[in-house]
Structure 1
Amino acid sequence: MEKSTSIRNYRDILIKFQSLLALVILCFVLAMMTDIFFTSSNMLNVMRQISVNICISVGMTLVILTGGIDLSVGSILALSGALTAGFLKFGLELPFFDTFIGFTIFGAVLIGILSGTALGTFNGLAITVFRVPPFVATLAMLTIARGFTMLYTKGFPISGLGQNYAFIGTGWLLGIPVPVWIALTVVAIAFFVTNKTRLGRYIYAIGGNESAAQLSGINIRKIKTIVYAIAGGLAALGGIIVTSRLDSAQPNAGASYELDAIAAVVIGGTSLSGGKGTIGGTVLGAIIIGVLNNGLVLLNVSPFWQQVIKGFVILLAIIIDKSNTRK
């Protein structure tokens, strides 16, 4: 009896720290295979690269905690980034009123975040009001947002956005890249919301048992709509960072970003069934995905094989998640 209890305890500890163990092993393997991996410049580069995924993954975590999924974040990222770049560079013309409106960086960024939030809200309403399954609703938005991005940009990048705007994606503050500060702020706010607020408790309750949550008086429609709106706004924030870093809004930006976000969330221990997971775990998952991407590039692995490897990593993470759920 004591032996079986001890084995169970070891298994529980292993499950709890499996993401951290995976990161340590991955870093050890990469350090053995390339001398560049643990250099300060490469570590800062990894931190900058994962900042966008952390922003998106935090929003994805909230969605998955409610038992949903959001496949549209990559397209929302692209459209919001394009709108931000377009309003900043070209402003807004109103020929009917013979008026031109110019935008400051703050105004253009605000437009981008509001547009992402609006698209996320549309996702939430489609899911809660019209009872469209989250997979279908967000898949439709993936196509809609990508189409609007192509229409707005006419298939061409919007470039030359200025040094001040570039500071968001390439600047430094106290020796740390600005995107890292943005990601840390997002994580801190999300951690507070999920652990210290009523909204956070409601999100976990809905994912744990939606019927029980509804019977207890929780407004399911309102909470889910808020969650999808937050996910859209954070995807837009990621789009602004990407656009600033590249000094260009690319029509095809954000392709497959939703897969990296889902992978980070699942690897971080959030259950796809909802109701279980942490923001800290998601950050750890995003770091693992970022380190994996960086390591594959340093090892000169073909981009095609990179997609294959990441696909297997996502599949393995889901299998582990399902196995842990059953146990």
Structure 2
Amino acid sequence: MIAMSLRRLGWMVLTLWVVFTISFFLMRAVPNGPLSSERNLSPEIERLMAKRFNLDKTPFEQYRMELGNILSGDLGHSFRLNDFTVAEVIEQGLPISLSLGSLALAFALTLGLIAGVTSAVFRGTRWDTGFMLLATTGIALPNFVIAGICILVFVFFFSWFPAAGWGSWQHMVLPAFCLGLPYAASISRISRTSMLDVLSEDYIRTARAKGVGPTRVVMVHALRSALLPVVSYLGPAVAGILTGSLVIERVFAIPGLGTHFVEAAIQGDYTLAMGMVLLYTVLLYSMNWLVDLSYAFLNPRISAHS
């Protein structure tokens, strides 16, 4: 376990360096820069601003300086939010995005597993057909379309939730539901297929022959093995939820990392955009790592050293 953890840590460091290098030069290749949207700046002021953020140096000199700052733990100041460092922006936005993502993931797992297991147990019935029809629809619709429909229904028609903002649990429910629903649809299809395979195994037939009740067969004997494909999907699902929150946070005007990331990309805020890219890389790599570790718990036959 320790050897695997050290190996994964080394790969994460290498991945971060590759992501940093590619992102750095791609950002500077785009015409939109941090000073491009400034208006009526005198040449002297523009020169001073460029000097302050090292934009007067060559790209390779900027790369060397920024890499050194990041290695020392300094993500720098935001170009646009001059009073805030990148670390302060992340400190403010990360708890909001994690709260939204965690609730969305809880929605996805709860709804997806209930629908998938129910469809497998009642295979061929109206329950099965109905849940799989909803799952197909959920996969086909992107989350911003779902968000538009939910706003029309639950905000303007029923007036159950606020349209935008952040500050109470009412602000969390609708965006988390819209963010997690497409992944709930995928989880339901995966869990249905996996549960059907497990229910046909010999040990399940043996448990039934011994008189074990149907509920215990499903919830105790079958569900744990059926969760393995779902756990495999959680790595990409977490990645999708994190990146999908960029759109959802924008739609619902939530001041999370997604909103800051979009603004940084639009305004050419190099340091803030780079900080967000590296943070998302660490989060996604860590989530995939945790998924791999969870395999050993769900199925002891799978070695944690693999």
TM-score normalised by length of structure 1? 0.30
Identify the structure with the greater strand proportion.
1
Task: Using CA pairs under 8 Å that are at least 6 residues apart, name the structure with larger relative contact order, 1 or 2.
Answer: 1
Larger Rg: 2
